[in-house]
């Protein structure tokens, strides 16, 4: 990626009995376009006595995007949705003024070994939609635009680019692209992108301006229109970004907003357990005594 502004290395973070590699937020770069939070989850093998169990917890002011490479997660929320997400599909949950959800190993897999690997992403909402009604959408893999150009395979996971539009119902101008290569070649797609741009290397490597970059690195470009690089054979990368918001966004635990008062209200509401409950699930994650960095 030409004119790399910043290189962010994955940092270990604990999300409750499960370690992830955190990419955003970062002290020198809180957001890339509207993307405000990205965790690389796994790869990890869970044995028959272990399960992926993220108990009920709340969100406001954002949309969550879950994208798996391996494994399976059962999503349940206070809108009454109960949906299993599998590799290649997208779970898109918009919290708006407030929602509670849980993410667990499905019942039929709880006594079996299981690999877990994927991306957990938060996308901030535009200011005028931060208090919208919550929504949930599940988009199957075959609904996501995919195409091939030579030895490159493209997938538009979310947003708009290349004259295509994903079925994921986003609320701002953004893109999330998957690119896979079977050979070493130059990639020049800057004219197809806009706003800010970040490139995450999942597998393989890319070369830019004489430097080699490998997995677990997020490269942030100075300008998405300068997105040109050489991708190595058998590589998989994700490019995401879009138009940044004019207002600053604040994060406190699972809450995102341009208004600190809304975050404070959500915090007190969760502490008093005044959010809606997920039917049949009385567990919950308490508000932490420390703030997530």
Model confidence pLDDT, tens digit, residues 130-173:
999 999 999 999 999 999 999 999 999 999 999 999 999 999 99
Closest among 202, 177, 174 to 187, alpha carbons compared: 177
Residue ranges for the known binding site are 57, 59, 101, 103
CB under 8 Å to 95, separation ≥6 — which residues?
58, 59, 60, 61, 62, 63, 64, 134
Which of residues 53 and 233 earns the better pLDDT score?
Answer: 233
**Model pLDDT, residue 143:** 97
pLDDT at 222 over 90: no
Alpha-helical (H) ranges within the chain are 260-271
What's the mean pLDDT in 191-207? 94
What's the mean pLDDT in 277-286? 94
Kindly state the percentage of the chain with pLDDT values over 90.
78
pLDDT at 19 over 90: no
pLDDT at 5 over 60: yes
| 3 state DSSP class of 255 | strand
Name the burial class of residue 79, with classes exposed (0-12), middle (13-18) and buried (19+) by CB atoms within 10 angstroms of its CB.
Answer: middle
Domains of the chain by start residue, with CATH:
4-242 (2.60.120.10)
| DSSP codes, 188-230 | E-GGG--SEEEEEEEES-EEETTEEE-SSEEEEES-GGG-EEE
What's the mean pLDDT in 19-30? 86
Question: What pLDDT band is residue 15 in, cutting at 50, 70 and 90?
Answer: low
Cα separation values, 211 from 180, 208, 226, 236, 244, Å:
20, 5, 16, 18, 28
**Model pLDDT, residue 2:** 56
Cα separation values, 111 from 46, 116, 158, Å:
10, 15, 33
For the chain, the average pLDDT equals: 93
pLDDT at 112 over 60: yes
Which of 97-101, 110-114, 220-224 bottoms out in mean pLDDT, i.e. has the lowest? 220-224
Name the burial class of residue 147, with classes exposed (0-12), middle (13-18) and buried (19+) by CB atoms within 10 angstroms of its CB.
Answer: exposed
What's the mean pLDDT in 181-197? 94
pLDDT at 27 over 90: no
**Model pLDDT, residue 292:** 47
Q: What are phi and psi of 191, to 5 degrees?
A: -70, -15
What's the mean pLDDT in 242-253? 96
Asked whether 279 and 80 are in contact (CB, 8 A), the reply is yes
In eight-state DSSP terms, residue 127 is G
Asked whether 2 and 208 are in contact (CB, 8 A), the reply is yes
Asked whether 44 and 115 are in contact (CB, 8 A), the reply is yes
pLDDT at 10 over 60: yes
What gap in Å lies between CA 23 and CA 167, rounded to an integer?
25
Residue ranges for the known binding site for Fe cation are 57, 59, 101, 103
Q: Let me know the angle formed at the C-alpha of 209 by 203 and 214, rounded to the nearest 5 degrees.
A: 20
List residues bridging with 255 in a β-sheet. Answer: 60, 252
H or E segment at 68? strand 62-70
For 195, the token pair is 């706003």
For 201, the token pair is 């290397």
pLDDT at 293 over 60: no
The single residue listed with the structure tokens 């680019």 is 161
The single residue listed with the structure tokens 């050979």 is 183
Q: Give the other-Cβ count within 10 Å of 288's Cβ.
A: 11
Instruction: Please count the CA atoms within 13 angstroms of the CA of 216 that sit on its side-chain side.
Output: 10
């Amino acid at each position: 990626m030409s004119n790399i502004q910043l290189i962010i290395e994955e940092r270990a973070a604990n999300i409750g009995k499960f370690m992830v590699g955190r990419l955003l937020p970062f002290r020198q770069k809180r957001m890339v376009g509207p993307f405000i939070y990205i965790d690389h989850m796994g790869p990890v093998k869970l044995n028959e006595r272990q399960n992926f169990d993220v108990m009920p917890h709340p969100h406001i002011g954002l949309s969550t995007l879950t994208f798996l490479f391996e494994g399976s997660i059962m999503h349940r929320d206070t809108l009454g949705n109960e949906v299993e997400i599998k590799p290649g599909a997208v779970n898109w949950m918009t919290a708006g003024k407030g929602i509670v959800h849980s993410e667990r190993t499905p019942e039929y897999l709880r006594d079996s070994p299981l690999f877990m690997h994927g991306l957990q992403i938060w996308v901030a909402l535009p200011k005028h939609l931060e208090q919208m009604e919550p929504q949930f959408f599940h988009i199957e893999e075959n609904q996501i635009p995919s195409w091939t150009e030579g030895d490159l395979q493209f997938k538009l996971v979310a947003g708009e680019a290349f004259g295509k539009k994903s079925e994921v119902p986003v609320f701002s101008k953004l893109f999330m692209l998957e690119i896979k290569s079977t050979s070493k070649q130059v990639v020049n797609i800057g004219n197809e992108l806009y706003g800010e741009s970040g490139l995450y290397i999942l597998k393989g490597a890319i070369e830019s301006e004489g430097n080699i970059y490998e997995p677990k690195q997020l490269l942030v470009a100075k300008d998405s229109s300068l997105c040109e690089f050489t991708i190595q054979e058998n590589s998989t990368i994700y490019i995401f970004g879009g138009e940044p918001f004019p207002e600053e966004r604040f994060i406190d635990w699972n809450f995102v907003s341009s208004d600190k008062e809304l975050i404070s209200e959500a915090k007190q509401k969760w502490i008093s357990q005044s959010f809606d409950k997920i039917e049949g699930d009385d567990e919950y994650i308490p508000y932490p005594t420390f703030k997530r960095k």
